[in-house]
Amino acid sequence: MASTTMSHQAIGSTVSHRPFRASQFLKEPLNVPMNFIPKRFKIEATASSQVSVIGNTVLSPSKNKPFESKKKSNEAALILIRHGESLWNEKNLFTGCVDVPLTQKGVGEAIEAGKKISNIPVDLIFTSSLIRAQMTAMLAMTQHRRKKVPIILHNESVKAKTWSHVFSEETRKQSIPVIAAWQLNERMYGELQGLNKKETAERYGTQQVHEWRRSYEIPPPKGESLEMCAERAVAYFEDNIKPELASGNNVMIAAHGNSLRSIIMYLDDLTSQEVTTLDLSTGIPLLYIFKEGKFMKRGSPVGPTEAGVYAYTKRLAQYREKLDEASLK
């Protein structure tokens, strides 16, 4: 497991960003005609060209009362999580865009990560298109106290959409849409993919391999530099994820060491020099609060009972209280 050489445990700096645009995701009423829904919200189409959007208001199973307020706040939680250990992490091989599953240890890391975020609201999940990130997201959500079911949205064809349609509004409300995006994939490691990291360092030199792995501008042979990875990952974040946060939707992103490094560089306003010391451990969730257009780093929740996490914002504290109330019933 990689070490974290830049601390993400402490409450961090507040960073200003460009003004956000409001998102309508998950706000459309059910059965809105297809042509009224922006492209990125066209998630579920029925045979009659009606759209059902997985809802944002969660009903308490016991009392049928709104669990989360219908009126979305301008504050949202953002959880970032690097996937758990993969079979090639275990073998110390450069993995990049090769689609390798988790090890048993990685499965355990994902479950432990899920416990740490089990009291933090999640309305939407974004993952890369790679199985190790998707496994991590799914396993983490098995631990969530809200017990909503993550459902992967299939956007690859009309048939994939219509055949995965959910016909119960109540069931949709108890679901979390999972959006898989290749833009969040690990950096393409080029001709290093499948090579052993230690052997590569012996062959090309520790300094050269460190530059390939951690520098911002220098790409590995025929692969993507962090800068190139950022071009797609940060653009995707700005276009698709930030608007959801701006709408008050709480988001979890399960992705990779380098796609997340590029997103953290953007969130924390790191320089290309600073990002060279940023190294993410597998399976450790990081929490940010997005409020009034700013990202505030809250570090990594230590555990589901850690009071400090919930003191960060009134909204999180209220959510936690509702969870406790619901579990007493």
Ligand X SMILES: O=C(O)[C@H](O)COP(=O)(O)O
Interface ranges with ligand X (CB under 6 A): 2, 94-96, 186, 189, 213, 256-258
Choice among 8, 68, 83, 244 that is catalytic: 83
Stretch (H or E) spanning 200: helix 197-204
Q: Which residues are annotated as a binding site?
A: 82-89, 95-96, 132, 186-189, 197, 213-214, 257-258
Residue 245 sits at φ, ψ, to 5 deg, of -65, -40
| Closest separation in Å from C-beta 49 to ligand X | 41
Q: Token digits for 229?
A: 């990875």
DSSP string, 85-151: PBHHHHTTB--TT----B-HHHHHHHHHHHHHTTTS--SEEEE-SSHHHHHHHHHHHTT-TT-PEEE
| Closest separation in Å from C-beta 157 to ligand X | 29
Q: Is 75 a catalytic residue?
A: no
Task: Considering the complex, state which of residue 122 and residue 209 has its C-beta at the smaller distance from ligand X.
Answer: 209
Q: Is 68 a catalytic residue?
A: no
Choice among 186, 211, 224, 244 that is catalytic: 186
| Closest separation in Å from C-beta 136 to ligand X | 12
Under a CB-based contact definition with an 8 Å cutoff, are residues 254 and 134 in contact? yes
Task: Considering the complex, state which of residue 147 and residue 210 has its C-beta at the smaller distance from ligand X.
Answer: 210
Sign of torsion over alpha carbons 17, 23, 26, 27: positive
| Closest separation in Å from C-beta 178 to ligand X | 21
Task: Considering the complex, state which of residue 8 and residue 213 has its C-beta at the smaller distance from ligand X.
Answer: 213
Q: Which residues are annotated as a binding site for substrate?
A: 82-89, 95-96, 132, 186-189, 197, 213-214, 257-258
Task: Considering the complex, state which of residue 106 and residue 299 has its C-beta at the smaller distance from ligand X.
Answer: 106
Under a CB-based contact definition with an 8 Å cutoff, are residues 119 and 318 in contact? no
Residue 149 sits at φ, ψ, to 5 deg, of -100, 120
Q: CB neighbours (10 Å) of residue 137? A: 28
Catalogue the active-site residues: 83, 186
